[in-house]
Structure 1
Amino acid sequence: MTPLQKAEQAVLGAVLLDPGQLAHLDWLAPEHFDRPTHQALYAALRKLRSGGHDALVTEGAVPLSWVTDAVDEAGRHVRGMTAVYAHTLISACPRPEHAPVYARMVLEGAIHRTIAQHAVRLHQAARADARQGQVDGALHRTDVLAGVLHDLAQRWGTEPRPVPADEPPPTDRDGPIRASVMEDERFLLTVLADRPKAMNAVVGWLRPGDFADPGHGELYRCLGALHHRGEPVDRLTLLWEAQRRGLLADGTLTTDNLVAICDDVGAGDAAWLGEQVLRSSITRTAAASADGVRSLAENEALSPGQLINHALHALGPLDEVRARWRTATGRSPAPPTHRTPASSGPPAERMHAALARSTPTPVPLPGGRTGPAPAPAGARSPARGHH
């Protein structure tokens, strides 16, 4: 059993032992639990509390009906919930008064799990768009992931800001490339070599890194350099520029490939072909960003704050290429990707409770001695049992 599963059991066991602990867990939702049975039981306990169950007002030992009613209510929504398992949860709780800390562990696991799930969906949308020659699905999923990251940051109580990871997560930007993508890149380079003035249509938003083939990207860089210096473009000037950049020596370009592109007829619209290249770049970048975010989410050593900020940084390259896509297509800027926190969100003091430590703060006593902190008003004794 993993530490996260033990934490889920401990939270539920604490609430079964001491219903008053629910007052400190309003920021924890049923969907934050991983196991469906735990989700159903926690939802049942919250429902009993909102319905004014007798266990919340009865002094002394917690009535056994608190457990049996919770099991019955959870059993209406999920199979496998029994009174025996409920008592197993009770025995799994080290100390009921530490429920907020156990719940913080559950929330931390939920944050990792949620980010990983949305990263997988972004990757799937990017691959689907790549096959269909589209970008809308990937861009939509990017907005959803960014919104989730901002929402989780607000729930955890941290400031969302992109921060690079000490060790960048592995990505797969150079995955399988469709033949049509390579053809579009070659057609574009042929047009730019045959009609150098066509460079004006793409130079403002297309970058060498947008090309799937590294050799095509470097040839585009050579064309851009000649265009920037105002020099003529032909087979010889391109060959010379490539040689000066060492592209022939390291094998990035070959003389035969370069000559073949220059000797071909440049038929096509440079802006349209450039958009095709940029569209492919968006889907590849989205897939790579999704891979990076998923790798981060699977790193259990990262705290939620670190994970959220590293994930936002991993989306940075996609934001950059997306901005150039808007320039190329003349689309208006996208709306903000984060959501404004709702006024009904968890109160600040309850969010701080999620970050509380399990060790009580010592209270100064006369004479310089220290003692345990007093129990919160209304809190039930951890020794309180069921009858």
Structure 2
Amino acid sequence: MSPLLEAEQAVLGAVLLDPSQLQQLGWLAPEHFGRPVHRALFAAMRKLHADRHPALAVETSVPLSWVTDTVVEAGRHVRGLTASHAHSLISACPRPGHAPVYGRMVLEGAIHRSITEHAIRLHQAARADALQGDVEGSLRCADVLRDVLTDLARRWGTEPRPVAPDTPPAPSPTAAPAPGWATGAEEEQVLLGVLAERPRSMDEVVGWLRPDDFVDPARGEVYRCLGALHHRGEPADRITLLWEAQRRGLLADGTLSRDQIAALCDGVGPGSAEWLGEQVMRSSVTRTAAASARAIRALAEDEALAPGRLINYALHALGPLDEVRTRWQAANGHPPPTPPAPLPNGPPSAQVHAALARSAPRPISPPSAPSGSIPSSAAVRPPSRGHG
């Protein structure tokens, strides 16, 4: 049994023993539990607590009806739940007073699991967009992932901010996609030919298209050479482009060849540089989204990574997609989004409350009762409360 599963059982057992523990677990939600039966039980406890179950008013011992009513309420959403399962959860709780710590473990596991799931969805959306020639699904999933990271940071009690990890967990966003992805290589080739044949067309794309947007690094270097000629106001043709490539060492190291440059400059038909550039940008958006998703998933699957760092590293991994997205919007005539205003007085009170609730010291409970009896919950308030 994994430590995370034991933590889920322990926090449920603690609340079954002492429903007042829910007051210290306001930052924990049913969806944070991995197993459906655990989600149903915690949701049932919260509902009974909100409905002011009679067990909440008892000061000496918790009536057995708290357990049975919880099982009945949860049984409306999952099948096969019995009272014996609830009592096994009670036995799995070493110290009821440690419920906030157990809950923190559950939340930590939920953060890793949720980020992994949303990273997978982002990768799937990027693959679908790449094959369909679209970007909206990728950008929409990226927005959802960012909202999830922000919500998880609030629940964990930390400030969401991009932080670069010490060691990159995945290849850079410009890495070549896996076989089967639509890459727009043909559009790249035609675009370079148009720019070499009609240098004035560079004005249509130079403001938002970058060499890293090309799937082939060699074609990206050709675009860089054309951009350098354009920036210096020098004419662009087969000879000047070949000379610029030589000056940059691209011929010497084998990145480019004379034949490649000659093929770009000869036999180019009509074409719109702006339209072709948008196709290259579209491919760049989906590739970058997929690379960001792979990086975030690799981070989330590292169980040793603390939740605060995981959230901030994941936000940093979305940075390249934000940069490409801004240029994509510029290419399509959309204004860039307004960044959120900085917080004037530090993190919101909800974040501070969540952090304090998870880390506040609790009195140490006495040793658990012998096997066959219900553990005491003296860690919350005297006298000890048990089911009667």
Q: Normalized against structure 2, the TM-score is what?
A: 0.89
Specify the alignment match of 1:176 in structure 2.
Answer: 178
Q: Does the 8 Å CA contact 2:156/2:351 hold for their aligned counterparts? A: no
Deviation (angstroms), 1:384: 2.7
Q: Does the 8 Å CA contact 2:190/2:268 hold for their aligned counterparts? A: no
In the alignment, the residues of structure 1 paired with residue 162 and residue 351 of structure 2 have an alpha-carbon distance, to the nearest angstrom, of 25
Q: Which amino acid aligns with 2:119?
A: A
Gaps of at least 5 residues in structure 1 are 361-374
Specify the alignment match of 1:106 in structure 2.
Answer: 106
Q: Which amino acid aligns with 2:47?
A: K
Q: Which amino acid aligns with 1:257?
A: Q
Deviation (angstroms), 1:18: 1.2
- What CA RMSD, in Å, does the superposition of the two structures yield over aligned residues? 2.3
Cα deviation digits, residues 305-359 of structure 1 (max 9, x gap): 1011101100111111111112111112236689x9xxx9958545521233567
The residue correspondences of 1:372-383 to structure 2 (distance < 5 A) are 379-381=380-382, 383=384
Gaps of at least 5 residues in structure 2 are 365-377
Q: Which amino acid aligns with 2:385?
A: R
Q: Which amino acid aligns with 1:356?
A: A
Q: Which amino acid aligns with 2:305?
A: L
Q: Which amino acid aligns with 2:30?
A: P
Q: Does the 8 Å CA contact 2:183/2:283 hold for their aligned counterparts? A: no
Specify the alignment match of 1:116 in structure 2.
Answer: 116
Q: Which amino acid aligns with 1:68?
A: T
Deviation (angstroms), 1:45: 1.2
Say whether residues 1:3 and 2:6 are aligned partners: no
Q: Does the 8 Å CA contact 1:25/1:350 hold for their aligned counterparts? A: no
Q: Does the 8 Å CA contact 1:143/1:337 hold for their aligned counterparts? A: no
Specify the alignment match of 2:213 in structure 1.
Answer: 210
Say whether residues 1:355 and 2:355 are aligned partners: no
Structure 2 residue matching 1:331: 3-state secondary structure: coil
In the alignment, the residues of structure 2 paired with residue 346 and residue 382 of structure 1 have an alpha-carbon distance, to the nearest angstrom, of 32
From the superposition, tell whether residues 212 and 358 of structure 1 become closer, same or farther in structure 2 (CA, over 3 Å). farther
Specify the alignment match of 2:387 in structure 1.
Answer: 386
**Misfit runs of 4+, over 4 Å:** 177-180, 335-338, 344-348, 357-360
Specify the alignment match of 1:151 in structure 2.
Answer: 151
Please identify, of 246-255 and 272-281, the stretch whose mean Cα deviation from structure 2 is larger. 246-255
Say whether residues 1:21 and 2:25 are aligned partners: no
Q: Does the 8 Å CA contact 1:195/1:266 hold for their aligned counterparts? A: no
Q: Does the 8 Å CA contact 2:157/2:351 hold for their aligned counterparts? A: no
Cα deviation digits, residues 11-61 of structure 1 (max 9, x gap): 001011111111111221111111000001111111222222222112322
The residue correspondences of 1:12-51 to structure 2 (distance < 5 A) are 12-51=12-51
Q: Does the 8 Å CA contact 2:130/2:182 hold for their aligned counterparts? A: no
Q: Does the 8 Å CA contact 1:10/1:102 hold for their aligned counterparts? A: yes
Q: Which amino acid aligns with 1:385?
A: G
In the alignment, the residues of structure 1 paired with residue 81 and residue 208 of structure 2 have an alpha-carbon distance, to the nearest angstrom, of 58
Q: Aligned pair count? A: 367
In the alignment, the residues of structure 2 paired with residue 115 and residue 236 of structure 1 have an alpha-carbon distance, to the nearest angstrom, of 51
- Percentage of identical aligned residues: 66
In the alignment, the residues of structure 2 paired with residue 349 and residue 210 of structure 1 have an alpha-carbon distance, to the nearest angstrom, of 44
Q: Which amino acid aligns with 1:79?
A: R
In the alignment, the residues of structure 2 paired with residue 353 and residue 10 of structure 1 have an alpha-carbon distance, to the nearest angstrom, of 18
Q: Does the 8 Å CA contact 2:155/2:351 hold for their aligned counterparts? A: no
Deviation (angstroms), 1:269: 0.5
